[in-house]
Structure 1
Amino acid sequence: DLYKMSEKELYSKICVAESINHVVGEASDEAVDMKDPYKFSNNLATILARDREVVAVRLKISDGCKVYISKNGDWSEEDVKYIDKIQEYLRYISKEPPGTSIESSRENIEDLTDEVMTYCSVKLGYRFEKLKRDIIRNPHKEHITSFIEYATTNLEGFNPDELDDVDKSEISGICCAYYKQVKNVPGIPEKFLGHLKKVGSYARSVIDMVACARNVKYKILFSNIELRIVKPIIADQLIYSWEYIIKSFVRNHVEYENFKNECLKNSHIAERLRKIYVDENTEQLQLDVNNIKQRVCLHAEMNILANIIDQGDKSRAYIAVSKRCCYLCELYIDFARKQGYNIIISGKHGKIYSGWKLPQVANINFRISSLKYILANLDRVIESKVKHYTRSLDADSDSYASSEKNSNNVVREREVANAFAGNF
C-alpha cells in the first residue's frame, strides 16, 4: 500500500543520506536542569551500557517508581540478571532508616560497585584506553603531570609506566574525584577532561545513585522501584537502489554518473557505500540493485518515546541516553514536540545511521505525518549534497569549456597572422 511504499522510500533515503552525508549537524548538549530524578536516569543509563550498545532510561514517578529501560538490541539473560541485582541493591539501600550511617550500607554499596564495574568492564576499558593515550603522548604536559601526581598519591601502586596493570574500578574512582577538582580549571584541554569524566562516570554513577536512594525525599519511591525492560524492535527492510534515489535528484543519467564517480573518489563515502550496498556473496558494490535487505532497529530512545506517545502522555518527560541522540531521533523528537509532547533529552550528535527505524505508534495519523516530516528533511540533506557536487562539476566543466574556447581562439589568431604574413 501507499504507506508501505513511503516507508520503503524513507529507509532508502536514510541509506543514501548516510552514505553521502553522514554528519549533518554539530554535536551539542541541551541545557537541562539536572534534578535528582534526571541525574538518576543518566547514571542508570551509564551503568546499563556494557559495550557498544546504546541504552535509554525514563524514570516515571507519578504512579510509584517505574523505570523504563530500552536498548538498541536484544537483552541477554545476563543483562536481565544484572538489572534484577541493581534493583535489589537500590531497594535494600533505600530501606535503611533515616539518619543511618552510610557505614551500615557499606557492604551493599561495595557489592553494587563490583557488579557495575564487572558488567561495564568492556566499555570502561575502551574509555580508559583513550585516557591512557593522553598520558603516554603528553607525559610532560602540566595537566598530565598533575593527574599522575594525584593518582600516585591516592591510588596505591599506581605507576604511569605500567598503565595496563591499573585496576579499572579503582582508576574510575580516582578519575571521578580528580575531575570534580579540575573541571573548571582554565587551560586544561577539553578532550582530556572528557576522557577523565567518562572513565570516572562509573564511580560517579554509583555514588549518585546511592545518594539518591538514601535521600529521605526518595526513600519510599526507591524502596519499591521497578526496572522495566522495554522489548527491542528489530526488523529487515527492503530498500530501493542507491541509483534509483539519486536519479530523483539529478537532471539526467550523465549527471548521475558524474556524481557517482565523485562519490567513489571520496574514501569516506566509498567506505559507507560498501557498508550498505555491497553484496555479501560477491563482495561487489551494487548501487543499481533494488530490494536490498537492510536490518533496522528502533533506537532505544525512540522505543521509550513510542510508549509515551501511545499513552498520549504529554507531561514533562526526560529520556536519559548513554550516548547523544542521532540526527533522525532528533528529527522525530522535534516532530513530537510540535505535537505537544514535552520531551527532554541531554544531547545530539547530528549523525545519520542507516539502521534507524521509524517508531510504529498506534496513531496512524501521527505515524504518517512523522514519516512525511522526516522524508522532507532527508530530501533537503540529499539535495544539498547532490547540488554541492554537481555545482562543482558544472564549474569545472565551464572552466574547461572556457579554457578550450580561449585555446581555440589563440590557434585561430595564429592561423590568421601566419596567413597575413604569407601575403607579404
Structure 2
Amino acid sequence: MKAAKVFMTSMLVISSASMAFAADIELRITGATAFRASSHQAIVNLITPATLEVAYVGSSLNGAGRAIFRGTSVANSSDTLTIKTSWSGSIRGIQSVASGGTVNPVTDWLANANLTGTPGIYQLATPISVPLTPVLPAHAALADNSQGETPYNHVNDSIYADLDGGPVGATPFVWVKGTHADATKQARLNLLTNITSQQAQLVLKNGAPFSFFSDTPSDSTYRVYALGRNVDSGTRLAAFAETFLDSLATFSASGIAQYQATVSGNRITGITLWTPSSNGYSSGGTLATALSNQVTSSENFFLVSYLSLNDAATLPNVTFNTTTGEFTPTNPALPFPILTFNGSAHTYSAVREGRYSFWNFEYFLYNGNILTPGEQGVVDELITEITTNTASVAGLKLDENFRVIRAAAGLYITD
C-alpha cells in the first residue's frame, strides 16, 4: 500500500509539473512588408501541422498585411502559440517596438475571434466583421535595416530603447517600370532597360525627361516619374541610400517627389504628388498593384518604382526563378517591367558575389527587457527558423555562400 501511495503521489507531482509548465503564449510582430513571406513561413513551421489554424487578410498568406496563427508548439507540446502579425514597414516597426508602442502603435491586430478552432488556413473577407484586438504593443519587428540606420534609437531620443537582435537574412530589391497603352509611346518606353543611381536620384527629386534614358533629344516630350513607398518603409530607405539621397529625405518628404497613381478600370489616368504627411504607398503590394495598370494613351509620362522581390514578381509578364533569383519575361514579345540597376541584373549569385548592390540585411529586432521567458523562447525559435530555413523565401540566407558584407544600405560592399 505504501508503495502504491508513493507511486500515485509521484504521478500527481509529475502531472502537476506538466500542467505548471503548460503555457499559452502570444507574440505580436510588425515591421517589413518585404520580408513577410519568410516571416509567415517561419511561424507556420513553429506550429504542429495538425493543430495549425491561420486567418489572414490579403490575396495570399505570403502577401498578407495582417495574419493570426494559432496551434501547439512543435518545440513544446504543452505550449499553445498565438502569433499575430501586422506589417506596416520597417521604420514604423522599429519606432513601435523601441518605444514600447507609445510611438506609432499597432492598432489593427486581428482578434482571436477570427479563429474558429478548426485547423486550416483561411482568407478573411474584408472589411473584417470581427472587431480588432485593442491596441497592444508589438514584441518584435522585422526590418530591412538596422535600428542604427534610423533616428529611432536611444542615442538620439531617450524614448527609444536599444533593441536586441541582429541580421537573419538579406533582402534584395529591384527597380521596375510600368507600361503605356499607346503603342508608339510603349515602343519608346521599351528602350528603358537599366536605371543608374544618378538617374534614379533625379527621378525621385522631381522627375526627369525620358531623353535622359533614351539619349534621344526628341524624347524630352515624355517625362519619367516615380511611384514610391512612404517614410515608414525600409525598402524606401534602401532605395534612397543606393541613389545617394541623404538620410533626411529618407525619413521625411523634404525634397522628394513621389506620386500616387489615379486608376480607373485598368488604366492610370493621372498622377498626384503625395502629401508630405504620407509621401508614398504604405506597402509594396499596393504599389505593385497600382503599377500593374497601363498609363492611359493620352498621357505623356512613364512610371518607375522600387519593389521587393516578391512584390516585383506580381507584376505583369514576370516569371521569377526562386532558385536563382532571376527575373525573365513570361512572354518575350510583351513589355518586361524589371530593370537592371547600374548595369547589373538581379540574381542571387550577383548579390552574394557583390555585383548587385541594391540590397540590405534583414534584421529581427526586439526588446529583451520586456519579454517573458515564454515569449523570449518563441523569439529565439523564430530567429533560428528564419536564419536556418525560411530567409530564402523572401531573400537570401546568410550561409557560407553569402560572401559580402556592408555596414548599412548604400555603403561600400566588401568581402
Q: TM-score, normalised by structure 1?
A: 0.22
Structure with more of its chain in helix, by fraction: 1
Q: TM-score, normalised by structure 2?
A: 0.23
Bigger relative contact order, structure 1 or 2 (CA pairs below 8 A, ≥6 apart)? 1
Structure with more of its chain in strand, by fraction: 2
User: Rg bigger for which structure?
Assistant: 1
